[in-house]
């Protein structure tokens, strides 16, 4: 009899645990993740905690992505922001109020170039939404004669290299529901995974270099400063293992604290202005625009030679965008007020 009661209790508690688990997951929505199979695409989404699978014809999405140029000239208007870190609503608000996109979330920046200076991934719970928005806007921008450049930051490279420490708690649940490691949701056989693998780490528009962390003298002493070849090296490193990269100086050079996606030398214990001048001379540029170091707003350092566009969007409260127009520089606030840097 006792055994029966214990068994009944065990079953009841199992049932309750299960129900709680389901109700906990029922507010989870994510995706779509598009997997490329032989003759078709398979779309998987999480809808109210349940996996919804759908087969799509191969033409529904692009599955090959052209590598864009690393250098652009004669661009009349440029905007930049970074470190969105899964804060979709706030990013949309900033982009709308600054006339980069309209009320229907369509590109309205004309022939302008928008640069996302890395770190869409990690921390927040709307990473996928931001990625698909950027994916769509990129096509619309190019059609309008403009462009959208999504540069990869340290958090993109971390996730793609299976470092999942900074994921929002939602994503391990998604990954469990889809029975797949989170980084495999961005694997080589996925639409977004292939798209990410076509992305640059560093670009130059007019006289401005854009890169997530920054360019250090240490990096320049090791690597020939050729944008296309740095980008190719970084793209190819996505599918190299960390162990293999760490077996040589490669990892320290490209992924170390003086490398382009991790460097913080313009902000914390900032290097002297003459060092900035020597870096700018070596990279034959007038300005460097970086993310990665959080400030409360878009900031200018070293007499407008360096702009920091990580305006702490990651906190989900406030953020800004940088505008570079005809040698004049402006902050666009969350509300869309334009303030010129003196
Ligand atoms: Ca970063």
Give the integer Cα–Cα distance in Å for 324 and 241: 38
Residues 128 and 261 in one domain: yes
| Sequence-distant (≥ 6) Cβ neighbours of residue 275 within 8 angstroms | 217
CA of 268 to the centre of ligand 1 (A): 14
SS3 state of residue 193? helix
Q: Supply the range of the domain harboring residue 50.
A: 2-59
Give the integer Cα–Cα distance in Å for 153 and 115: 12
Q: Could you say which of 59, 81, 96 is where a domain stops?
A: 59
Give the pLDDT score at 20. 43
CA of 292 to the centre of ligand 1 (A): 4
Give the pLDDT score at 24. 72
Give the pLDDT score at 269. 87
* Total domains present in the chain: 2
CA of 153 to the centre of ligand 1 (A): 6
CA of 3 to the centre of ligand 1 (A): 56
Give the pLDDT score at 25. 86
Give the pLDDT score at 123. 98
Q: How far is CA 131 from the centre of its chain?
A: 8
Residues 39 and 91 in one domain: no
Give the pLDDT score at 200. 98
CA of 213 to the centre of ligand 1 (A): 7
Residues 143 and 260 in one domain: yes
Q: Could you say which of 16, 42, 59 is where a domain stops?
A: 59
CA of 139 to the centre of ligand 1 (A): 25
Residues 50 and 104 in one domain: no
Give the pLDDT score at 246. 97
CA of 310 to the centre of ligand 1 (A): 9
CA of 222 to the centre of ligand 1 (A): 22
CA of 201 to the centre of ligand 1 (A): 12
CATH of the domain at 197: 3.60.21.10
CA of 99 to the centre of ligand 1 (A): 26
Averaged pLDDT, groups of 10, the chain, 342 residues long: 52 43 79 95 97 96 96 98 98 98 98 98 98 98 98 98 98 97 98 98 98 98 97 98 96 98 95 97 98 98 98 98 94 98 93
DSSP structure class, residue 59: G
Residues 18 and 78 in one domain: no
Give the pLDDT score at 327. 85
Residues 105 and 22 in one domain: no
Residues 204 and 174 in one domain: yes
Q: Could you say which of 15, 42, 59 is where a domain stops?
A: 59
CA of 118 to the centre of ligand 1 (A): 7
């Amino acid at each position: 009899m006792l055994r029966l009661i214990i068994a009944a209790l065990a079953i009841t508690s199992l049932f309750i645990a299960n129900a709680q688990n389901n109700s906990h997951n029922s507010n989870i929505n994510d995706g779509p993740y598009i997997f490329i199979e032989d003759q078709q695409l398979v779309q998987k989404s999480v809808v109210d905690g349940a996996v919804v699978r759908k087969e799509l014809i191969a033409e529904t999405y692009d599955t090959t992505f052209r590598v864009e140029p690393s250098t652009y000239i004669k661009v009349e208007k440029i905007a930049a922001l970074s470190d969105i870190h899964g804060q979709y609503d706030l990013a949309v608000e900033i982009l709308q109020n600054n006339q980069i996109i309209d009320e229907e979330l369509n590109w309205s920046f004309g022939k302008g170039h928008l640069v996302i200076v890395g770190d869409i991934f990690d921390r927040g719970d709307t990473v996928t939404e931001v990625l698909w928005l950027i994916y769509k806007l990129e096509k619309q921008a190019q059609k309008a004669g403009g462009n959208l450049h999504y540069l990869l930051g340290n958090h993109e490279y971390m996730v793609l290299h299976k470092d999942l420490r900074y994921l929002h708690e939602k994503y391990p649940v998604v990954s469990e529901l889809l029975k797949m490691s989170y980084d495999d949701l961005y694997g080589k056989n996925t639409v977004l995974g292939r798209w990410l693998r076509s992305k640059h780490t560093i670009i130059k528009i007019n006289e401005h270099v854009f890169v997530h962390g920054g360019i250090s003298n240490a990096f320049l002493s090791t690597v020939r400063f050729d944008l296309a070849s740095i980008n190719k090296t970084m793209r190819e490193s996505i599918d190299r293992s960390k162990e293999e990269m760490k077996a040589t100086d490669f990892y320290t050079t490209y992924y170390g604290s003086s490398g382009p996606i991790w460097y913080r030398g313009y902000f914390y214990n900032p290097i002297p202005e003459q060092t900035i001048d020597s870096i700018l001379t070596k990279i034959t540029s007038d300005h460097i625009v970086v993310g990665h170091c959080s400030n409360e707003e878009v900031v200018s350092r070293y007499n407008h030679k360096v702009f920091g566009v990580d305006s702490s969007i990651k906190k989900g409260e406030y953020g800004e965008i940088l505008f570079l127009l005809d040698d004049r520089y402006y902050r666009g606030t969350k509300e869309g007020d334009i303030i010129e840097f003196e």
